[in-house]
A and B are shown apart, each in its own frame.
Chain A
Amino acid sequence: MKGVRAVFRKEFRSYLQSSMGYIYLVVFLVLANWLFLRGFFIVNQLSFRSFFLLMPWLFLLFIPAITMRIWAEERKLGTIEILFTLPLKESQVLIGKFLASLAFLGISLLLTLPLPITGAFLGSPDVGQIVGGYLGALFLGAAYISIGTFASSLTDSQIVAFILGAIICFALFLVGENFVLVTLPPSIASVFRYLGLGSHFDSIARGVIDSRDVIYYLSVIWFFLYLSLRVVEDKR
């Protein structure tokens, strides 16, 4: 646990210390607010549904950007050798890194809170939907983070890691979307629907927390984190 904490602190600090971290935050917040508010006054209805439906798309750029450095940078700098000659298990290092990215994501989500809070002053939004939306965003984000971490383990170039991460996230998000599903025979379509990142997000974001969705996200997270660990070990 102490090992995880040490890695977590180092990683988390590096997000807040580099100017990149702040740039990501600002871009994320500006985009999220602007895209939401653009439609807000047109619809003339107090619903945050459209706000949360933006998240999968925003995350597609934002999360690979925060995860691209996770392994690629260590490898490029050679510090991976320091990291893996410390008396830590590989899994401790990985979990520390994952949690730090998750915490950074959590902060960026917290910083979008002024929107629903303002909404609460203006009218009476559906609180259950908002809570569900944030929860869904956190699960979806965590899944993206694990995919991004995996992408970062494949290369020592951060740019490649970013693009790779975005592509895998996009692909996994897309396979569950309706416009893909309608082209498939029904038997395969149901499998794809389950595999897609998006459909599970939709149901949580609607405020329905189903254990199947939670299990799905946890499996995706575990799967890609495990894969990245294998890759990191093999690549030494």
Chain B
Amino acid sequence: MIEVNDLVKTYGQVRALDGVSFSIRKGEIIGFLGPNGAGKTTTMRIITGYLRPDGGNAVVAGYDVASYPIEVKRRIGYLPEDNPLYMDMQVREYLEFIGEARGLEGSELKESMDRVSEIAGISGVLKRPVGELSRGYRQRVGLAQALLHDPDILILDEPTSGLDPSQIVEIRGLIKELGREKTVVVSTHILPEVSATSSRVIIINKGRIVAEGTIEELERKAEKGETLYAVFRDGRADLERELSSLDFVEDFQLVSVDGDEFKFAIKPRGDEDIREKLFDFAVEHNFKLLEIWRERATLEEVFLQLTTEE
């Protein structure tokens, strides 16, 4: 649905995008993740046809953005960063303008306006000037604007920034709901946002894609990978000798000692789930296994790893 090939964009001396490529399938909800200034907004602006790249191209729904900008813009609903709005227009007038500019007229326009007002929960403020609305309501107006023409693709640049927690939950729910029928790209620098809504994550840093995949894949991919913790009682020396001879253990380490209890961190070989094997091993050798649990690198750790590495 969206294909981006080797995008390059430079602002003066600063290279904002340095060869960004990815592709997004129909119906996916993509979390577009990166620290501030990583190039998220620039990428989105290129996809929506607002900016022209210095190199590379973007293809949306089969249309090259540079050659067929109008066709692309018809198919995209876009909420730009910081949700710009005409402050002195009434909400209704604003939606009317957007609808007319998108070629909606008469009853069609009216129905569309009713529909998005319902979805975004702004039916009650249609006659109010945008400038008088609270931040949460403005955000809904921005969303309503993006949904008005019922686009196949939604591009939302930091849709929850500046909202309070309950508003954030609301907007996330809305995005998830919309993601059932539409292809959605949500950019954010807030991690929980991604886990809450996305089916796949693309991480960008310093103008380059540093990772992509489902949240699970990314968590597993992290350097730390999966670690198993096990607590045993007694027999430390025997235990250490036997553990090092196991072929499904790549590495292990004594983490802490609490009286006669020893806590080991065990790194399995490969992606295998070795909990059962470890249990059998303990039974076989008569070790007293008290506890066993897995810990994965969280998305947060993955993110930090990927975006702080030099």
Contacts and interface: CB of A to CB of B under 8 A. Distances in A.
- Max chain B CB contacts within 10 Å: which of A2, A5, A86, A88? A86
A10 B51 CA distance: 24
Contacts of B93: 10, 13
Interface in B118-152: 145
A20 B76 CA distance: 35
A3 B98 CA distance: 10
Contacts of B74: 87
Given A17-B88, A79-B84, A6 B97 contact: yes
Interface string B71-114: 10110101010101111110001000110111101000000000
Interface in B254-281: none
A77 interface: yes
Given A81-B45, A81-B50, A87 B88 contact: no
A79 B86 contact: yes
A10 B50 contact: no
A82 B80 contact: yes
Interface in A78-109: 78-82, 84-89
Interface residues of A, number: 24
A10 B49 contact: no
A164 interface: no
Contacts of A84: 49-50
Contact of B84 (A9, A78, A86, A87): A78
B103 A85 contact: no
B103 A2 contact: yes
B100 A77 contact: no
| Max chain A Cβ within 10 angstroms of own Cβ: one of B70, B82, B100, B105 | B100
B100 A82 contact: no
B101 A77 contact: no
B101 A88 contact: yes
Contacts of A6: 97, 100-101
B48 interface: yes
A79 B142 CA distance: 11
B238 to A, nearest CB: 68
A236 B73 CA distance: 17
B73 A82 contact: no
A7 interface: yes
B80 A77 contact: no
A124 interface: no
Interface in A1-24: 2-3, 5-7, 9-10, 13-14, 17-18
B231 to A, nearest CB: 56
Contacts of A17: 88-89
B78 A85 contact: yes
8 contacts: A6-B97, A6-B100, A14-B88, A18-B88, A77-B84, A79-B84, A85-B50, A86-B73
Q: Lowest 7 A-B CB distances belong to which pairs?
A: A78-B84, A6-B100, A6-B101, A87-B73, A10-B97, A81-B80, A86-B101
Interface of A: 2-3, 5-7, 9-10, 13-14, 17-18, 77-82, 84-89, 236
